[in-house]
Structure 1
Amino acid sequence: MTTRFHLAAHSLCRPLAFVRTPGQAGDAPAFPEVMVRLRVPRPIRRPRTTPDVVLADKAYSSRAIRTPLRRAGILAVIPQPSDQAANCKRRGSRGGRPPAFDRDAYKQRNTVERCINKLKQWRGLPTRYDKTATIYIAGPHIAAIFIWSAR
């Protein structure tokens, strides 16, 4: 009965990529699919498929997410949850080095939350009046078109 959207947002609070999952699904399993659908706009040339930086919350802090980002040359600004930090500290030198975290860059993550709030202004999205998934997924795409064309 519930549905969640996982999305990537532009620094101007504009949606770039959507993934719809069941409401009980976690954030981290949807991350690779969002990255596959992502196209970063550029003014003149064709869009890139990889961003320079990924800003995410603690739910995305895992080795399975950080490793592919590092291999692709994408800077991951993801805070480490306290339980993961305590586990690494407990393991001592075998726990590894803590991941780098840029507090100043992380302050820009609010653009994702503001983008979600813009999408929720469309009444049918948070309440899900549509019964079928195909009709429901069209809603965020139409809302994104209006958000992108508003500026």
Structure 2
Amino acid sequence: MHLKTDFDGHPIAFDLTCGEKGDAPHFPILLGLGPEVEPRAAIGDKGYASKANRRAARDRGIIPVIPHKANEKDKPAFFARTLYKGGARIEHAVGKIKRFKRVALSCEKTRRNFASFVALSAGFILIKSVHTA
């Protein structure tokens, strides 16, 4: 599951993939998911590190905040560490969604049903955040 969150770490969109699929090919899909919100930065881990992903983000006017792999050539000296630390909110959002047993255990057999439960759990998280703010 690939997740797109708002600034506060609330899930706003997701993309389901098979467990053995790589992260990098789904980066352009994540850039286009969700409501009509123009992100200024896209934070990802080293699984999204590729020149194509960084170019896809820049083509849309988005700053890619993806660390470079150790074996990459021509790495720039600057990396936006402060922005990258905000990526922990994405991991927290995934953790919140996985607190729902049916999502964590992947009880559903079909993609449609599993996506429905992920969306339902994300909705519960958003509702809780609105009522506790």
Whole-Å separation in 2 of the counterparts to 1:80 and 1:11: 23
State the match for 1:27 in structure 2: 23
Q: Which amino acid aligns with 2:25?
A: P
State the match for 1:72 in structure 2: 60
Higher relative contact order (CA 8 A, sep 6+): 2
Whole-Å separation in 1 of the counterparts to 2:112 and 2:60: 32
Residues 77 and 100 in structure 1, CA contact (< 8 A), matched pair in contact too: no
Whole-Å separation in 1 of the counterparts to 2:53 and 2:11: 21
Residues 8 and 18 in structure 1, CA contact (< 8 A), matched pair in contact too: yes
State the match for 1:61 in structure 2: 49
- Relative to structure 1, the CA distance from residue 112 to residue 131 in structure 2 (aligned partners, 3 Å threshold; closer, same or farther) is same
State the match for 1:18 in structure 2: 14
Aligned residues: 129
- Which one of the candidate residues 40, 53, 57 is aligned to 1:52? 40
Q: How does 1:121-140 map to 2 (within 5 A)?
A: 121-140=99-118
TM (norm. structure 2) is 0.89
Q: Show structure 1 runs of 4+ deviating over 3 A.
A: none
Residues 58 and 78 in structure 1, CA contact (< 8 A), matched pair in contact too: yes
The secondary structure found in structure 2 opposite 1:17 is: strand
- Relative to structure 1, the CA distance from residue 57 to residue 97 in structure 2 (aligned partners, 3 Å threshold; closer, same or farther) is closer
- Which one of the candidate residues 103, 109, 114 is aligned to 2:92? 114
Following superposition, the deviation at residue 98 of structure 1 comes to: 2.4
Stretches of structure 1 that go unaligned for 5 or more consecutive residues are 40-46, 89-95
Q: Aligned residues: percent identity? A: 30
TM (norm. structure 1) is 0.79
Residues 54 and 75 in structure 1, CA contact (< 8 A), matched pair in contact too: yes
State the match for 1:104 in structure 2: 82
The secondary structure found in structure 2 opposite 1:112 is: helix
Q: Which amino acid aligns with 1:64?
A: A
What is the alpha-carbon root mean square deviation over aligned residues? Answer: 1.5
Stretches of structure 2 that go unaligned for 5 or more consecutive residues are none
Q: Which amino acid aligns with 1:75?
A: I
Whole-Å separation in 1 of the counterparts to 2:50 and 2:100: 33
Following superposition, the deviation at residue 100 of structure 1 comes to: 4.3
Residues 55 and 76 in structure 1, CA contact (< 8 A), matched pair in contact too: yes
